[in-house]
Structures are given as C-alpha cells and as structure tokens.
C-alpha cells in the first residue's frame, strides 16, 4: 500500500485527487507543518526538502507533487495522453503549474497574508502581478477547451485543481471574475466523485489551525533569529 504524506494545502491535495481517481490503495499519513512535523528526522529521510507531499510505494520514494502525479499516472497507465506531441504538451503544462502557478501563488499568499508588515509593498505587488499573470495565461489557454489538454481530463487538470481551489485566497475574493475558464475547470473537477473523496480527507486528521508564534517558527524559519 502507498504511504501518502500530506496535509490539506494545494500540493498534497492534487496528489490526493490523483490517488482517488486511480483507485490506488493508500494510507494517508499527516504531516503538520505548523507543528514542525516536516523537520522530523524520519520524514527528512523521505523528503530532504522537508515539504509535503511525498509517497512511499514499496521500495520507491517520490517527493514533489508534480513528480508524484507523473509517477502515479505512469504506474497505473491512466490520465496520460498518447503520442510524442501530446506528451510534450502535457509535460509543458505540468511544468507550467510546477514552476509558475504553484510558486507564484504560494509567494503571493505569503506576502499578502503572512509576511511581516515591514516586508514592503514591492514584494506584494511583484507576487500578485506574477500570480495573476500566470493564472491569466492558463485562463486564456482554457478558452474553448474543456480541459488543459483539450477534451481529455488528465493529471495536468489535477495539478491545476489543487491550486485553483485557493484562487480567492491567493488573489482576492473577486479573482474568479477575471478567470472564468479556470472557474469552469474547477467546478468541473469539483463535481467528480474522486474530488469529493479527496476533500473528505479534511475529516481524517486534525491539523493545527492557529498561525501563532510556534507555527511561524516552523513554517517561516528565516524569520526567527538564530540563537
């Protein structure tokens, strides 16, 4: 059985969706970053980057959410396009999520919601602009397409879903007004039974909700002076 190390943030949730879509048996193992679980030595042996998600599938360990999506899809032989041209398009958009949508949305959230007040307006403006730009690229691409790669649902849509669920927190409550195609894709995936099962993970384990001093130390260690 696959051991799935997770919390409820966007990157682990896209893997939860993939596991549910594939119907692969897995054991969810909570890793609470606000409590510092990611720095436990046993977990660091699985993911030296001290991030979630990660999976252990027998003798195989994979970390980074997009690498896990690709591994699981290849293992099951599902949710992947056929042919070199289609595979090239799939890899391009999967990496667009991995290197653009995810990082810029994450930094946008950090500077809008969690950074010290003296971090400066420049950082906020920079990451809001880049997050909005990346989501805009995706929204334009989705115009006239049911899914990112056309008519067929696949792992790129799962990768997008993980982050699209958080667009209002990333860019503001009115953000979907300028991203109608992203919202349509989100609604389409949300209606899938696998997505509903993935969301049900919220009831499986309790994660620390407070962003108190302990949580800030564990999540943003660079903000804590070195003793």
pLDDT tens-place string over residues 165-184: 999 999 999 999 999 999 99
Tell me the domains of the chain and their CATH numbers.
Answer: 2-78 (3.40.30.10), 84-197 (1.20.1050.10)
Whether 73 shows a pLDDT value over 80: the answer reads yes
Res 221: pLDDT: 73
Whether 205 shows a pLDDT value over 80: the answer reads yes
Res 116: pLDDT: 84
Neighbouring residues of 182: CB distance < 8 A, sequence distance ≥ 6: 135, 138, 139, 142, 160, 164, 167, 176
Average pLDDT rounded to a whole number, residues 84-94: 98
How far apart are the C-alpha atoms of 200 and 219, rounded to whole Å? 25
The percent of residues above 90 in pLDDT, for the chain, comes to: 88
Res 117: pLDDT: 79
pLDDT, tens only, 105-163 = 999 999 999 888 777 799 999 999 999 999 999 999 999 999 999 999 999 999 999 99
Helix (H) or strand (E) holding 30: strand 26-30
How far apart are the C-alpha atoms of 165 and 179, rounded to whole Å? 13
pTM of the shown model = 0.94
| Helix residue ranges per DSSP H, the chain | 10-22, 41-44, 65-76, 84-96, 102-109, 121-142, 155-164, 167-171, 180-190, 193-199, 213-219
How far apart are the C-alpha atoms of 59 and 172, rounded to whole Å? 42
How far apart are the C-alpha atoms of 189 and 183, rounded to whole Å? 10
- 62 conformational bin, left if phi > 0, alpha if psi -120 to 50, beta if neither: beta
Res 118: pLDDT: 75
- 23 conformational bin, left if phi > 0, alpha if psi -120 to 50, beta if neither: left
How far apart are the C-alpha atoms of 108 and 29, rounded to whole Å? 28
What is the average pLDDT score of the chain? 95
134 exposure class (CB count in 10 Å sphere: 0-12, 13-18, 19+): buried
């Amino acid at each position: 059985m696959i051991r799935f190390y997770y919390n409820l943030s966007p990157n682990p949730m896209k893997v939860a969706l993939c596991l549910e879509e594939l119907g692969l048996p897995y054991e969810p193992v909570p890793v609470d970053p606000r409590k510092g679980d990611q720095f436990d030595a046993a977990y660091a042996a699985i993911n030296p980057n001290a991030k979630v998600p990660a999976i252990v599938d027998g003798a195989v360990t994979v970390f980074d959410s997009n690498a896990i999506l690709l591994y699981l899809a290849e293992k099951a032989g599902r949710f992947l396009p056929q042919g070199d041209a289609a595979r090239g398009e799939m890899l391009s958009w999967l990496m667009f999520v991995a290197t653009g949508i995810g990082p810029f949305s994450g930094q946008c959230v950090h500077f809008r919601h969690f950074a010290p007040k003296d971090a400066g307006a420049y950082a906020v403006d920079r990451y809001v602009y880049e997050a909005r730009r990346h989501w805009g690229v995706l929204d334009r691409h989705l115009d006239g397409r049911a899914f990112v790669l056309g008519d067929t649902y696949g792992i790129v849509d799962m990768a997008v879903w993980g982050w699209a669920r958080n667009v209002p927190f990333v860019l503001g409550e009115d953000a979907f007004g300028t991203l109608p195609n992203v919202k349509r894709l989100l609604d389409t995936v949300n209606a899938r039974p696998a997505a509903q099962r993935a969301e049900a993970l919220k009831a499986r384990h309790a994660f620390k909700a407070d962003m108190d001093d302990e949580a800030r130390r564990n999540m943003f260690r660079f903000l804590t002076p070195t003793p």
